[in-house]
Amino acid sequence: MRIRYDGGFHEVAAEISELERAGLQLVSVAEAYSFDAVSQLGYLAAVTDRLELTSGILQAFTRTPTLTAMTAAGLDAVSGGRFTLGLGASGPQVVEGFHGVPYDAPLGRLREIVEICRAVWRRERIEHRGRHYSIPLPPDQGTGLGRPLKLVNTPVRERIPVAIAAIGPKNVEMTAEVAEGWEPIFFVPEKAAETWGAPLAAGTARRDPALGPLDVRVGVPCAIGEDVAPLRARERAQLALYVGGMGARGRNFYNQLAVRYGYADAAATVQDLYLAGRKEEAAAAVPDELVAATSLVGPRGWVAERLAALRDAGVTTLVTSLVQPDRAGRLRTVEQLRELADAR
């Protein structure tokens, strides 16, 4: 289950034990320009017993690689080895607009961050000389007093799973090569092979067998019932936000994904409307087909068909957003998903 970053954390956290008993297996906490994900994940570690906890996502530009490694090791420790480090590049609108950090070389940075994190978890003295990070800082760039250090504590696991959010071809290829998991956004199973098949194959060809098969972790809004279609409106607004507003013209990765899916005209219209401040019209311009294809909001039989399509497209982990407005509805959604999963 994905916990949204725009409020309601305590209300959802109060339900977690109940949802866990109903079959929920994973909780992902988002981090954008909101409350940080780490404090919330620590809280959830204390009130859960079995759930996998995932950051969804920690941004590559907002923490040093070693702080990212320390944070992951700390969350893995307080959760008893239940943490997965979700990483991503985010985009220039958030990284430059909120954090004031230049958005440069996201792929190269992510690759080095993963490498440094794994060295920290192995408790090696960190001596890294990369294109984007240099640890310790060379004498000509600092005081000359820096010396290689290693993590003081012994991590619960020396190999914490890493999942990378990626949608661009080069980023997806890199993810398939170096990460345990891949987190694509707005995943359309029928278009997955033509959109990502080639970069996934290229990255997998260079993948270390010790990583195991790539865990394809797809987030989808979910509500099961005969009268839940109006709940797709929330997904429509979310698609409009990302396709229309998460980036400038020519620098919006989500808009480019919609284009690769075959919705070039609609993507341009949504962006024009959103950037003009006409957000409701932008949401209305999102194609119905795209809204339906990226959700599990509908009758039980239809949801079962969509789950089968996701499995056939290689999805191995489902990260749901429970969009039912009432607690009983969210609980029933988890129970129904568990039933559908057990029945396959």
Provide the pLDDT for residue 117.
98
- Considering the domain architecture, whether residues 231 and 344 belong to the same structural domain is answered as yes
- For residues 4 and 127, state if they share a domain: yes
The answer to whether residues 159 and 265 belong to one domain is no
What is the token pair recorded at 66? 């070693």
199 within a domain of the structure (yes/no): no
- 153 shares a domain with 84: yes
- The per-residue b/e assignment along 51-76, b for 16 or more CB within 10 angstroms, e otherwise, is bbbbbbbbbbbbbebbebbbbbbbbb
| Shared-domain flag, residues 6 and 153 | yes
Question: Residue 326 domain-assigned?
Answer: yes
| Amino acid letter, residue 208 | D
Cβ-based neighbours of 133, under 8 Å, separated by 6 or more: 64, 65, 109, 112, 113, 116
- Report how many domains make up the chain: 2
In a domain, 202, yes or no: no
Phi then psi for 215, rounded to 5 degrees? -85, 110
Predicted pLDDT at 8: 79
pLDDT of residue 83: 98
- Domain boundary (124, 144, 165) is at 165
For 84, the token pair is 């997965």
Instruction: Give the type of residue at 2.
Output: R
Same-domain check for residues 259 and 325: yes
Q: Does any domain span residue 252? A: yes
pLDDT at position 311 is 97
Structure tokens at 317: 């982990």
Q: If the chain, 344 residues long, is cut into consecutive pieces of 10 residues, what is the mean pLDDT of each piece?
A: 81 90 94 92 95 96 97 98 97 92 96 98 98 94 92 98 97 98 97 97 97 97 90 91 91 95 98 97 97 95 96 97 92 94 80
Same domain, 131 and 223: no
Nearest CA among 188, 290, 278, 282 for reference residue 232: 290
Peptide bond before residue 136 is cis, with ω within 30 degrees of 0: yes
Residue 123 pLDDT: 98
Co-location of 125 and 248 in the same domain: no
* 149 shares a domain with 3: yes
Check whether residue 27 and residue 147 sit in a common domain: yes
Tell me if 173 is assigned to some domain.
Answer: no
Would you state the pLDDT for residue 50? 95
Same-domain pairing of 31 and 118: yes
Closest CA to 125 of 152, 144, 155, 159: 152
Length of the chain in residues, anyone?
344
Instruction: Give the integer Cα–Cα distance in Å for 88 and 91.
Output: 9
**Residue 203 within any structural domain of the chain:** no
Residue 78 and residue 47 in contact, taking contact as beta carbons nearer than 8 Å? no
State which of 150, 165, 180 marks the end of a domain: 165
Whole-angstrom distance, CA of residue 273 vs CA of residue 294? 21
Q: Residue 57: which CATH number? A: 3.20.20.30
Q: In this structure, what token pair is assigned to residue 326? A: 């009432």
Distance CA 133, CA 64 (A): 9
Q: What is the C-alpha to C-alpha distance for residues 164 and 217, in angstroms, rounded to an integer? A: 10
9 and 136 both lie in a single domain: yes
Distance CA 107, CA 171 (A): 6
Question: Does some domain include residue 206?
Answer: no
Count of beta carbons in the 10 Å neighbourhood of residue 235: 24
Residue 73, domain member (yes or no)? yes
Q: What range does the domain containing 5 cover? A: 1-165
Q: Are 50 and 32 in contact (CB under 8 A)?
A: no
